[in-house]
A = this chain, B = another copy of it.
């Protein structure tokens, strides 16, 4: 969900590389090009509160490419607040999953884009940091925002290409990353609630 292959649609020979089935990937892109409604996806999650700040999300089904799909891998993820914030630390905090999302999105894109460009990767590591001033969410300052003030992602990437070519792959992945787009530009989020006394 994070790659950008536009410039790659009429390229060299496509052979599987980096664990990416490049011929099928390009066949998929061409299918979507011919039938744009296949590009409409809806992702879904359900969450239930357990106790305190501890809650659990299941990510099971999604629609796209004209049909319904069900994930086969891990589907259950907890979140909690740490002890220093009076939680039970059963899992990372919600904001830390934003760090996972951005690293994972750009990394998945790097895998695909490198394969499309015929570059064999040997290592892709990244570290992500997010700075946040909790006076926002604690309601102690109206001048401090609730969310991250800034985030940084640093990649360490090795492959059989010149460093500049590897850097271009990272840049292209960022330029077409779904998560980077949402985190930097924001999106509309509607929140509704059905409430009952019980």
Contact = CB atoms under 8 A, between A and B. Distances in A.
Given A6-B139, A62-B82, A179-B94, A100 B47 contact: yes
A182 to B, nearest CB: 4
Nearest to A185: B186
A65 to B, nearest CB: 5
B180 A125 contact: no
Most buried by B among A107, A149, A152, A154: A107
Given A54-B19, A134-B64, A91 B73 contact: yes
A133 B112 CA distance: 19
Say how many copies of this protein the assembly contains.
Answer: 2
A142 to B, nearest CB: 9
Interface string A102-128: 111111111110000000011111111
A12 interface: no
Instruction: Say what secondary structure dominates the interface of chain A.
Output: mixed
A49 B121 contact: yes
A177 B147 CA distance: 7
B178 A94 contact: yes
Contacts of A184: 186-189
Interface in A147-198: 147-164, 166-167, 170, 174, 176-198
Interface in A5-26: 5-9, 18-21, 24-25
Contact of A197 (B44, B107, B147, B162): B162
Contact of A59 (B33, B85, B92, B179): B92
When A and B form their complex, which 4 residue pairs have the shortest distance between CB atoms, in order from nearest? A6-B139, A19-B51, A19-B52, A79-B104
